[in-house]
Structure 1
Amino acid sequence: MEVKEGSSIVCKAVSAEPKIMDEPINIIGAGPAGLTAGIVLRKHGFPVKVFEMSPEVGHRLNGDFQGLENWSSEKDITDILKSVGIEINFLCEPYYGGLVYAPEMKPVEIKSDRPIFYLVKRGMMPGTLDMGLKEQALSAGVEILFNHRLDKFEGKAIVATGPKGADAVAAGITFTTSMKDQAVVILDDNIAPKGYAYLLVNQGYGTMVTVLYREYRKEYECFERMMKFFKGNMDMDIKNEKRFGCYGNFFIWDTQVHHSKLYVGESAGFQDGLWGFGMRYAILSGYLAAKSLIEDSDYDMLWQRELRPMLETSLINRFLFERIGHHGYRYLIKKFANGNPCDFLKKHYNYSFFKHLLLPIARKKYESRVKDQNCNHENCTCVWCRCGAKICP
């Protein structure tokens, strides 16, 4: 069985036979990356302990809707999840289009013949991606220890502790509504500087968010502008409103292995640098980390082969997007509307020779708020901050 990610990335299914082992593999963090790794390892006979410092999975999330992108690969993302051992036991609703707004242009309706993304819910309540993965992990025999912060360990471990800095911040609300199911996106630097705002509605619930990649201190101001825009341009029905905020980070380092620790998900910087679609990267990196332990193969080789080309392309896309402004946003929206938006997005999310020429410039211009704090202690057993001074002796 194969898992295709993008146009050129192919990762083969785990080839090792199930094993019987005494010492458990430690996984730090019960997010999508950590739980995926645990599920795959347990199915291959490895005892697994997941240490989660919060009282429940999805604890820092808010019941908000997010998009599981479906345009960067030929294979549907739901088929990819199934092929790496993840069942769809959570809300995963296909969305084939929606409305897109930009300054000084009428809203444009985008339509696709395949799902552009799958709407999923995040958080601690039933039906979320987080709870679905937790149920699968427990059913597979994974041991999850909540309210347990693991600072040091012995043996091999997978670190899935989530973002360590804010390269993008989001401010939004969840709410109940009588509005029809829909997806609406705004590209406007006055509402979401170098980012985007969106409205997602499904089965009587809604999420409205602005995502800022610059001018973070204007978070509240941009949120108010977004609310004013949606109320002024759409027939809004908002009840039981709950505010929330979150953040994410993106970086590309040459290694995600430090002594016996394998880093996955956002703790490895694995994120879509353009628009922040990170769930695909989280799940696939968790799978690849598990695969490397099962087969005793090189995790750095795996993620660099399977994920790095698209990570680098997303960095270039971020570099270009920050320079096109409102005129460029209008151009992009027209391109989305003319033809198949998934084909257009897939082309620009995958490697090309021209974009590769821009990589040195994009690398020079981009600077994550996360710094490499690896230490040089021999046989280091620290978990947090890549052995930052707070933990290392």
Structure 2
Amino acid sequence: MTETIKIAGAGISGLTAAINLAKNGYDVTVYEKDKSFTRDNICAVRNYDLTEDALEEFGKFGVELRPQSKVNKVIKFSPTQSIEEHSKKTIFYIFERGPNKNSIENQLYRQAKDLDVKISMGEPVNEKDVDIVATGGRRMDIFAYGHIYSELDTSKDTAYIIYDNLYAPKGYIYILTANGRTVIVSVSFDRKKFRYLPVNFSIFLRKNNVIRDLVGREEPVNKISGFGNYDIVKNAKEEGRYHVGERGFFMDASKGFGIRYAVITGHLASESIAKNLDYNKLWKRVLKEELDRNFKRRILLNRFANKDYDLMLKKIGGRVDIEAYIKETRKLKKHIDLFFPLYAWKWKLGKKISI
């Protein structure tokens, strides 16, 4: 008799788990509370510091994903400085999210349906009744707000990142273009200022010279928002249920990336079930070092003022290869490692560490 696996959440991690389990002969049902994929956005998957190309890595973890565009140049701004990073290697792969035909969710949906995975859209389920929980973040540690425009006058192979604590507290603003659309999104890691982000974003559009010239009189076709969470993860399996993606706090704490971790943990949960392996040991072997490193960077970045962003870009300077930028940021490692125990202790005072 074929074993049945139930999954809560038809996002990236849930569908990745479903695809891999179906390939291993399981009867899989995915329950999604929303009737359609509503999370409209354009997002980046980092590729610049990986030892293996991100798309090849996705294939290794059981899914085939096709990006809408590739970024080979990043222009970064702080209040007084700017730099241009370039690379022969793809720096970011750009994907659409949400309802569009070729969004990540719809690509995975089609792959799952081809494997006879049952996907019940618009049907919520009690998490206690499933095997894998892939229902997204539990709390708001990161908040993003922005606009989608018909394609603005930007290059598809270029991403723009703006550091300014006035408009993106402890975070950044990014601009990406794909499939005839451009997004401008402010990402904040300062929980005390989340409520002001939409208002400050509107001010930013009017006052920032780069953005004002870019947007002109264009009106957004959509306004978007979202949140994420991160933590010092210790346990991602609770009462026999596997927590994957953001539900397990698997997110890049330094920059807010989550797509890659969603794919990896979805695959690892399926591998744990299919091969009767310890899920916590699996994800710790594959991800723990990277997650801890990103968390340490976030602790440091939370202390950055605008003058620190100015200094960082000034030290990197002008037009550089992305490898030079990575080398420069790694010089911060000794400082982070020295003070991390103190910063982590302060973080733990107000956070629940394990899930």
Same fold (TM over 0.5): yes
Please report how far the alpha carbon of residue 268 of structure 1 lies from its aligned counterpart in structure 2 after TM superposition. Answer: 0.4
Please report how far the alpha carbon of residue 371 of structure 1 lies from its aligned counterpart in structure 2 after TM superposition. Answer: 3.9
Tell me the equivalent position of 1:121.
96
Please report how far the alpha carbon of residue 355 of structure 1 lies from its aligned counterpart in structure 2 after TM superposition. Answer: 4.2
Tell me the equivalent position of 1:18.
none
Do the aligned residues in 2 keep the contact of 1:265 with 1:283 (CA within 8 Å)?
yes
> What do the CA deviations read for 1:187-213 (whole angstroms, capped 9, x no partner)?
010110100001112342110111111
Q: 1:104 to 1:336 in 2, by over 3 A?
A: closer
Please report how far the alpha carbon of residue 331 of structure 1 lies from its aligned counterpart in structure 2 after TM superposition. Answer: 3.2
From 97, 106, 109, the counterpart of 1:131: 106
Tell me the equivalent position of 1:147.
122
The farther-off stretch of 197-206 and 358-367 is: 358-367
Percent sequence identity over matched residues? 27
What is the alpha-carbon distance in structure 2 between the residues aligned to residue 310 and residue 372 of structure 1?
Answer: 17
What is the alpha-carbon distance in structure 1 between the residues aligned to residue 245 and residue 331 of structure 2?
Answer: 19
Q: 1:328 to 1:159 in 2, by over 3 A?
A: same
Count of aligned pairs: 348
2:230 pairs with 1:250: yes
2:195 pairs with 1:217: yes
Q: 1:261 to 1:203 in 2, by over 3 A?
A: closer
> What do the CA deviations read for 1:254-280 (whole angstroms, capped 9, x no partner)?
111112101010000010101101111
Amino acid at match of 1:83: K
Which ranges in structure 2 are unaligned for 5 or more consecutive residues?
Answer: none
Please report how far the alpha carbon of residue 366 of structure 1 lies from its aligned counterpart in structure 2 after TM superposition. Answer: 2.7
From 249, 272, 280, the counterpart of 1:292: 272
Do the aligned residues in 2 keep the contact of 1:310 with 1:350 (CA within 8 Å)?
no
Higher helix share: 2
Tell me the equivalent position of 1:390.
none
**Mapping of 1:181-330 within 5 angstroms?**
181=156, 182-214=158-190, 215-228=193-206, 229=208, 230-234=210-214, 236=216, 238-330=218-310
> What do the CA deviations read for 1:106-132 (whole angstroms, capped 9, x no partner)?
x32221221111111000121101111
Do the aligned residues in 1 keep the contact of 2:142 with 2:189 (CA within 8 Å)?
yes
Do the aligned residues in 1 keep the contact of 2:20 with 2:267 (CA within 8 Å)?
yes
Q: 1:179 to 1:202 in 2, by over 3 A?
A: farther
The farther-off stretch of 233-242 and 192-201 is: 233-242
Q: 1:284 to 1:237 in 2, by over 3 A?
A: farther
Q: Secondary structure at the match of 2:183?
A: strand
What is the alpha-carbon distance in structure 2 between the residues aligned to residue 23 and residue 294 of structure 1?
Answer: 10
Q: 1:265 to 1:203 in 2, by over 3 A?
A: closer
Tell me the equivalent position of 2:153.
179
Q: Secondary structure at the match of 2:168?
A: coil
Q: Secondary structure at the match of 1:175?
A: strand
TM-score (ref. length: structure 2): 0.90
Please report how far the alpha carbon of residue 165 of structure 1 lies from its aligned counterpart in structure 2 after TM superposition. Answer: 1.0
